[in-house]
Structures are given as C-alpha cells and as structure tokens.
Amino acid sequence: MAKIAFIGLGNMGGPMAGNLVKKGHEVRGVDLAKANLDAAAKRGVVAAADIAEAAQGADVVITMLPAGKDTISVYAKSGIFEAVAKGTLFIDCSTIDVASARLAHELAAKAGMLSIDSPVSGGVGGAEAATLTLMAGGTKQAFDKARPLLECVGKKVVHCGDAGAGQAAKICNNMILGVSMIAVSEAFVLAEKLGLSHDALFEVASTSSGQCWALTSYCPVPGPVPASPANNGYKPGFASALMVKDLRLAQEAAAASGAITPLGALAAQLFAMHANHGAAGADFSSIIGMIRGK
C-alpha cells in the first residue's frame, strides 16, 4: 500500500483522498481551508500541518488544486521536492493550462521525480463514487506506476500521451461539451417557438443525427432525462463557472498552438456572460435560460 501526500482537499480532492483511504492507502493531507481538512479527516485522511509534513516519507504526491499557478507554486516554492526521495511519483489531478502542466513536468523531472498530469471528468458525484474518468499525460514509466492509484478514484483511466496530454484531452472534451450544450439549448428554444414539444424533439433528436451527450444525458429541459440537473432547478451539477474556466483554458491553448476554434471562443463568451449574471454556481445546462432571453 502506498504512502500518499494529498494536497488540496476541496470538493473533488476530499472524496478522492477518502477513496484512496478506503482502498487501504495511507493518506496524509493538507489544505489551506481548515474546514476542508477537518472534512477529509472524517474520511480517514491524516491531517498534516503543512506540505512538507504531508510529504515526509511519501511514495506519491497528489495535487488537486484550482489553477496552474497553484500547482506551480506547490512544485516550485513549497520545498516539496526536498521533502521526498528521488523517484517519487507526482500526480497532478487539477484542471490547469497545458503550459503550466508541461512546466510542472519539467520541474519534477529536474528534481529527479516521476510525474503525470491526470485531470479528471465526472464531477463531485464521480469523485464520491470513485467513478471518475482520468486522462493522463507523461511517460509510460510514470503512468504505469500511477495507474493502480488512479483506478482507486475512477472507473476509466486513459494514457493520452506525453507531458500535458491529459490536460489537452480534458479541455478538448469540455470544448465539445460547452459548444454542444449551447447547440442543444438553441434547438429546444427554437422548438418552443415553433410549437414543437420538448418530448417530441427529444424523441427524434436522441435517435437521429442530433444525438449527443448534452442531449441524452444532460438534457437542458426538465422531463426527457429525469436525472439531468434541469429537473432540479439546475442544481447540483457542473457549475457554469467551471465551464467558463475550462473553455478559457481551451482558448488559451488554441491561441498558443494556432488552432482555429471560433465556436469554442463564442461558447467561452456566452458561458462567461451567463455566469456573470448570477448563474456561476448553477449547472451549465442552465444556459438555456439565457438563450430564451431570460
């Protein structure tokens, strides 16, 4: 069983750390927020005073932090590489920009560590139920070592390629999701104007060429998919603010790489507008309200 230092015990990190404990691993955790540290302790995570204490004697360090600057700050400024043995495996599960992910790999390699970026998909529900999808970037050696741990927190683990490939897969996937949710929402709003019922549109589109996940798993109107957040006032779910974050990361990556993504750019603007008008915490499928003009 591994000795794991887990840094960032928020909405996602807390349950993920708890699932590692459930699988028999020894997890020492740290978080800037005492409430999150206390909640993780209830899941069997040993609370550490600081990053160096959490990392002492660890075989693996997992980070689950808000943004690229946080991962880089932990890697570059916390003294963590001095607190662990050479060859320790660093797994960054945060969703961050591709450039920071590659820098994190470089910092780890320079310090003699193994590393992978491994963002996740599946939300807080997936983190609780250990059913996340994990998309990893890094060397095969690092991935092979990480895989059994990733399988403790998720049901699907994919090695996407070299350093940063996990983040690339995450933002490409979420760009598809953001754009397709807007397309599905526009179709339902057009149907309403044309007097076509939600059920009729769903029955046709879900078995025709308009079929997509945003329609069949996350339908933005109540009724056709009983488990979609639309049936519960768009709560809980995948917050619009997080969709804005991921679409902005996709746009940064598109600008840096020269990819042309006009629909991704428009989706980023529309979700930002939606989030700024009081919907930051609502599930992203609530964008249908803005499209209706409300």
C-alpha 179/C-alpha 10 separation (Å) is 28
Return the residue of 89, 120, 142, 254 that touches ligand NAD, per CB under 6 A. Answer: 120
- 95 touches ligand NAD by CB under 6 A: yes
Residue (111 or 196) nearer to ligand NAD, CB:
111
170 classed as catalytic: yes
Counting contacts by CB under 6 A, is residue 79 touching ligand NAD?
A: no
60-63 and 3-7 strand pairing: parallel
Point out which span in 25-33, 146-154, 212-220, 271-279 binds ligand NAD (CB under 6 A): 25-33
Stretch that binds ligand NAD, among 28-36, 176-184, 185-193, 257-265 (CB under 6 A): 28-36
Residue 13 touching ligand NAD (CB under 6 A): yes
Closer of 66 and 87 to ligand NAD (Cβ): 66
Q: Is 20 in the site for ligand NAD (CB under 6 A)?
A: no
Among 19, 36, 100, 185, binds ligand NAD (CB under 6 A): 36
Q: Is 244 in the site for ligand NAD (CB under 6 A)?
A: no
Query: How many residues sit in the footprint of ligand NAD (CB under 6 A)?
Result: 25
The residue among 222, 109, 124, 243 whose CA lies nearest residue 180 is: 243
Mapping DSSP onto H, E and C, the string for the chain reads CCEEEEECCCCCHHHHHHHHHHCCCEEEEECCCHHHHHHHHHCCCEECCCHHHHHCCCCEEEECCCCHHHHHHHHHHCCHHHHCCCCCEEEECCCCCHHHHHHHHHHHHHCCCEEEECCEECHHHHHHHCCEEEEEEECHHHHHHHHHHHHHHEEEEEEEECCCHHHHHHHHHHHHHHHHHHHHHHHHHHHHHHCCCHHHHHHHHCCCCCCCHHHHCCCCCCCCCCCCHHHHCCCCCCEHHHHHHHHHHHHHHHHHHCCCCHHHHHHHHHHHHHHHHHHCCCEHHHHHHHHCCC
Identify which of residues 221 and 244 has a Cβ nearer to ligand NAD in the complex. Answer: 244
Residue 15 engages ligand NAD in binding (rule: CB under 6 A): no
12 binds ligand NAD (CB under 6 A): yes
Nearer Cβ to ligand NAD (51/212)? 51
The catalytically annotated residue of 77, 110, 155, 170 is: 170
Q: Rule CB under 6 A: choose which of 39, 124, 266, 280 binds ligand NAD.
A: 124
The answer to whether residue 268 forms part of the interface with ligand NAD (CB under 6 A) is no
Shortest CB 199 distance to ligand NAD, Å: 29
Q: Which of 59, 62, 70, 229 binds ligand NAD (CB under 6 A)?
A: 70
For ligand NAD, the closer of residues 4 and 120 by Cβ is 120
CA angle 117, 123, 127 (to 5 degrees): 75
Which residue, among 163, 18, 155, has the nearest Cα to 92 in the 3D structure?
163
Decide if residue 242 touches ligand NAD (CB under 6 A): yes
- Name the site residues for ligand NAD (rule: CB under 6 A): 7-13, 30-33, 36, 64-66, 70, 74, 94-95, 120, 123-124, 238, 242, 245
Positions marked catalytic: 170
